[in-house]
Amino acid sequence: MKISMYDAAVKPALRMMTNLGAVLEKAAQHAEAKKINPAVLVDARLAPDMFPLSRQVQIASDTAKMGTARLAATEAPPFEDNEKTLPELIERTRKTVDFLKTLKPEQFEGAEDRTIRWSSPRSGERSMIGLSYLLHQALPNLHFHCTTAYDILRHNGVELGKMDYLGREPSA
């Protein structure tokens, strides 16, 4: 069985961003139930030299939308990176999902062999062949930031389990 680049790129990004939104909703409910200032969670980080929750969500969103857009040879919508509350972060995950749902399988035809170019603040101009970009850059980066956001919230007492991260298996 052959897997399409659309299935390999968009479907995991949709699932991860949907699950991240649900995890953030649980965090908001937790903060309300425990009378915790939600800003404590939004600004929380695992280590002093790591980004806080807000930035982890922003980077996950950027990775999902820009990674898939690059593979589809289209533009991703710009987001301002100004979210300061859990509802704003939840909305960002929803906007990301909405964008991902606009992408069509035919946009990804030939993407596995297309040269993907992007700029990174830490490493400057980069390029990779599409399949390598997806497998070794986009998906690992998306999972890293979603996992880190999950870990920040779990570390701060939000009752989350593995299935909150993984989500439920989509029906066939």
Residue 168: predicted pLDDT: 79
> CA 7 to CA 139: how far, in whole Å?
12
Q: Per the domain annotation, does 172 fall within a domain?
A: no
Q: Per the domain annotation, does 119 fall within a domain?
A: yes
- In this prediction the pTM is 0.95
Residue 69: predicted pLDDT: 98
Q: Per the domain annotation, does 171 fall within a domain?
A: no
Q: Per the domain annotation, does 34 fall within a domain?
A: yes
Tell me the three state secondary structure of residue 114. coil
For the chain, the domain total comes to: 1
Q: Per the domain annotation, does 156 fall within a domain?
A: yes
Residue 120: predicted pLDDT: 82
Q: Per the domain annotation, does 135 fall within a domain?
A: yes
> CA 37 to CA 3: how far, in whole Å?
45
Residue 144 lies in domain: 5-166
> CA 33 to CA 96: how far, in whole Å?
28
Weakly modelled stretches of the chain, pLDDT under 70: 1, 170-172
Q: Per the domain annotation, does 147 fall within a domain?
A: yes
CATH code (residue 133): 1.20.120.450
| Helix, strand, coil percent content, the chain, rounded in steps of 5 | 60, 5, 30
Tell me the three state secondary structure of residue 113. coil
Residue 68 CA to chain centroid, in angstroms? 11
